[in-house]
Amino acid sequence: MSANRLDQAAQATQTAFVFPGQGSQKMGMLADLAAQFPVIEETFKEASAAVGFDLWHIAQSGEGINETQYTQPVLLTASIALWRLWLDLGGVAPKFLAGHSLGEYSALVAAGSLSLADAAKLVYLRGQLMQQAVPQGAGAMAAILGFEDAKVVELCAQISAQDFGSVEAANYNANGQVVVAGTKAAVDALIALVKENSGKAIALPVSVPSHCSLMKPAAEKFAEALEQTAIELPCIPVIQNVNAKAAQTVDEVRLALTAQLYESVQWTKTMQVFEQQGIHYLMECGPGNVLANLAKRLPNIEKAFPLDTQARMEDALNAVLVAEGKIA
pLDDT in tens, 63-81: 999 888 999 999 999 999 9
321 pLDDT tier (thresholds 50, 70, 90): confident
Q: What is the pLDDT of residues 201-250, one digit of tens each?
A: 999 988 899 999 999 999 999 999 999 999 999 999 999 999 999 999 99
User: Are 31 and 122 contained in the same domain?
Assistant: yes
User: Are 109 and 147 contained in the same domain?
Assistant: no
User: Are 7 and 100 contained in the same domain?
Assistant: yes
Give the domain-ending residue among 186, 206, 226.
Answer: 206
**Is 328 within the bounds of a domain?**
no
User: Are 297 and 192 contained in the same domain?
Assistant: no
Q: How many CA atoms lie within 13 A of 249 on its CB side?
A: 3
- Number of Cβ atoms within 10 Å of the Cβ of 236: 23
**Is 228 within the bounds of a domain?**
yes
Domain that holds residue 187: 139-206
Exactly one of 48, 160, 166, 211 is catalytic; name it.
211
What's the structural domain count of the chain? Answer: 2
User: Are 99 and 163 contained in the same domain?
Assistant: no
Read off the CATH number of the domain in which 60 is found.
3.40.366.10
**Is 37 within the bounds of a domain?**
yes
Q: Which of 291, 21, 72 is nearest to 173 (CA)?
A: 291
User: Are 47 and 182 contained in the same domain?
Assistant: no
Q: How much is the pTM?
A: 0.94
211 is catalytic: yes
User: Running DSSP on this structure, what letter comes out for residue 327?
Assistant: -
Exactly one of 24, 101, 106, 113 is catalytic; name it.
101
User: Are 145 and 129 contained in the same domain?
Assistant: no
Q: What is the pLDDT of residue 328?
A: 42
**Is 150 within the bounds of a domain?**
yes
DSSP letters, 154-205, are HHHHHHHTTTS--EEEEEEEETTEEEEEEEHHHHHHHHHHHHHTT-EEEE--
100 is catalytic: no
User: Are 222 and 110 contained in the same domain?
Assistant: yes
